[in-house]
Amino acid sequence: MRVYHLNRPLLKLLAAALLGFAGWAMTPTTYAADFNMTNVEARAKTLVNSAYDAKPLPIPAFLKDLSPEQYAQIQDVMPLWRGDHLPFQAQFYLPGSWFQRPVVIRSVVDGVVQPIRFTLKHFSFGDLHVPKDMPGELGYAGFRLLAPLNTPPRYNEFISFLGATYFRAVGKNAIYGTSTRGLGIDTAQPSGEIFPYFKQFWLVRPKAGATRMVVYALMDSPVATGAYRFTIQQGDSSTVHVDATIYLRKPVQVLELAPLTSMYWHGHGRGITAGDWHPAQHDSSDLVMANGNGEWITRPIDNPLYTQTTTYDMDHPEGFGLIQEDRQFSAYEGIATNYQRRPSVWVQPDGDWGKGQVRLVELPTNNRDMDNVVAFWVPAHEPAPKTPLHFAYTVRFFLDNHGLIPLAHPVGTYLGNDMKVPGARTVVIDFAGGALTNLPGTAPMQIHLNAADNAKVLSQRLEWNKEEHVWRVLAVIQPQPDSPSNVRCFLTLDNQVMSDTWTYLLHAAKE
């Protein structure tokens, strides 16, 4: 594991990317009668061999100047495929607010590409005062899919594609939280992050009774192009299988596959509350990783004082994800926010991804309004320019974490300051689940705790909570004043590993 520190916020870079423009035109295009991934890959290859086109397309000031709250009032009230008794419907977003880049969206019916005509009359504007001179051909900024998920036979939104290469989904009874992206480039680098974007979509009209929806996307950017096929399924957990082929126009510093984006403000003694009264506010609590050697690693998320990047070397990964551990309302006390209903998100590679890194970027924040956590896979070797890189994975959005992690795992992390030793921290880790579930409190469990970077472990002990069936590690650790310590902890019984490896970047307490 390696740790880097950058005193450079990235939130403004994200806003700048979402506010960017791209050329957009409904030019006639010829397609084969059996449109598929090969067609999109051909277009991505054509793009990478052409000069990048970033011609701006202005949109009306009325839409451009909308606040996010005003923009949310604009709703598509005439979904695509409504009344056709199909398992999925689609609604569209207008360009506006932060999402000013129009994209081309078409449908594919029985293998044949068909246009989706833009009609301003399909949109409701709430209490916004719409100018009379609004143009009739604005184009779309993105789309969302609906299905009879929570209130059948009524259709409910369960996945949305909007902004750059972002998409997010929910399963049954969940609400939006962590987002995913098709590709990330140079996050937390001094040169600045680059945001690729989906410039075209093709929605495959589903058959009656279909359980999956297929969407194709064409990606572009100054440094990379790509073709994507999304196979989407909704249910108690919603899943998106991603098949992608990308081409680099030129080398990049950090190529980021399957990026996840989330928010962590504070909770359990981590992060600065800035006077907030809630016990916790976050979309995700932990980064969890499954290495190819069988080790599972849990890294609680933090809201640091400075931008912080942590890397975990992995070989043949089985998966990684941002997990929301606590599902009790009392953990958050947010009637409007309902963080207990925000989904955990897990990335499972399709095939062998070989060697690389899971990288975690944490940015400082003093509110809940901006995503400040990013996790992604960095392959050990990036492809040469204009050489295709094929990769595939399944991303799952879910509420129930049971069954994901085979071993016992940390279900709670609490941090405090030790009052007796300058700079020392109190670290509390609760382990539960897995084989620990059926063991008595008299089992001779052993703690394996170490603190790197010349930190001192001043004390450690293990307690058993009979009511919750939780093994609790309590330790006092003194990191060096100017050097955070990578702390690792796991449990064994008779030399057999019983838990995930808990790891955390522990800073000394401030006097």
Question: Are the beta carbons of 460 and 473 closer than 8 angstroms?
Answer: yes
Tens-of-pLDDT digits for all 511 residues of the chain?
A: 544 434 333 433 344 344 333 333 333 444 556 999 999 999 999 999 999 987 767 889 999 999 999 999 999 999 999 999 999 999 999 999 999 899 999 999 999 999 999 989 999 999 999 998 888 788 899 999 999 999 999 999 999 999 999 999 999 999 999 999 999 999 999 999 999 999 999 999 999 999 999 999 999 999 999 999 999 999 999 999 999 999 999 999 999 999 999 999 999 888 888 889 999 999 999 999 999 999 999 999 999 999 999 999 999 999 999 999 999 999 999 999 999 999 999 999 999 999 999 999 999 999 999 899 999 999 999 999 999 999 999 999 999 877 788 899 999 999 999 989 999 999 999 999 998 988 999 999 999 999 999 999 999 999 999 988 999 999 999 999 989 999 999 999 999 999 999 999 999 998 6
With a CB cutoff of 8 Å and minimum separation 6, the contacts of 459 are 474, 475, 476
Token pair of 334 as six digits: 């947010």
Six token digits for residue 508: 């000394």
Domains of the chain: 2-23+53-398 (2.70.98.10), 409-506 (2.60.40.10)
- CA atoms of 428 and 462, how far apart (whole Å): 10
Distance of CA 173 to the CA centre of its chain: 19
CA distances in angstroms from 253 to 4, 189, 250, listed in the order given: 15, 8, 10
pLDDT at 10: 40
Distance, CA of 370 to CA of 180 (rounded, Å)? 15
- Burial (CB < 10 A; 0-12, 13-18, 19+), residue 211, is exposed
- 8 A C-beta contact, residue 213 and residue 194: no
CB 396 within 8 A of CB 451: no
pLDDT at 169: 98
pLDDT of residue 4: 41
In whole angstroms, give the CA distance from residue 277 to residue 280.
9
Of the candidates 253, 270, 99, 272, the residue with the CA atom closest to the CA atom of residue 188: 253
Query: What's CA 37's distance to the chain center, in Å?
Result: 24
Return the number of other C-beta atoms located less than 10 Å from residue 318's C-beta.
16
Spatial separation of the C-alpha atoms in residues 227 and 37, rounded to whole Å: 7
Predicted local distance difference test score (pLDDT) of residue 438:
87
Q: Per-residue DSSP letters for 131-176? A: -TT--S---BSEEEEEESSSSTTS-EEEEEEESTTEEEE--TT---
Kindly report whether the peptide bond that precedes residue 481 is cis, defined as omega within 30 degrees of 0: no
Question: What is the spatial distance between Cα 458 and Cα 501, in angstroms, rounded to a whole number?
Answer: 20
pLDDT at 273: 82
Q: CA dist 340 to 91, 265, 272, 403, Å? A: 27, 15, 20, 19
Residue given tokens 């490896």 in the structure block: 501
Count of H-run helices and E-run strands, the chain: 4, 34
Question: Helix, strand, coil proportions of the chain in percent (round to 5)?
Answer: 10, 45, 50
Provide CB contacts within 8 A for 407, sequence distance 6+.
296, 433, 434, 435, 497, 498, 499, 500
H-helix or E-strand containing 6?
strand 2-6
Smallest Cα–Cα separation from 377: which of 397, 365, 395?
Answer: 395
Judged by DSSP in three states, 365 sits in coil
Task: Report the C-alpha gap between 127 and 109 in whole angstroms.
Answer: 36
Could you give the C-alpha distances from 325 to 6, 122, 336, 362, 402, in angstroms and in order?
28, 40, 19, 18, 10
At residue 18, the pLDDT reads: 41
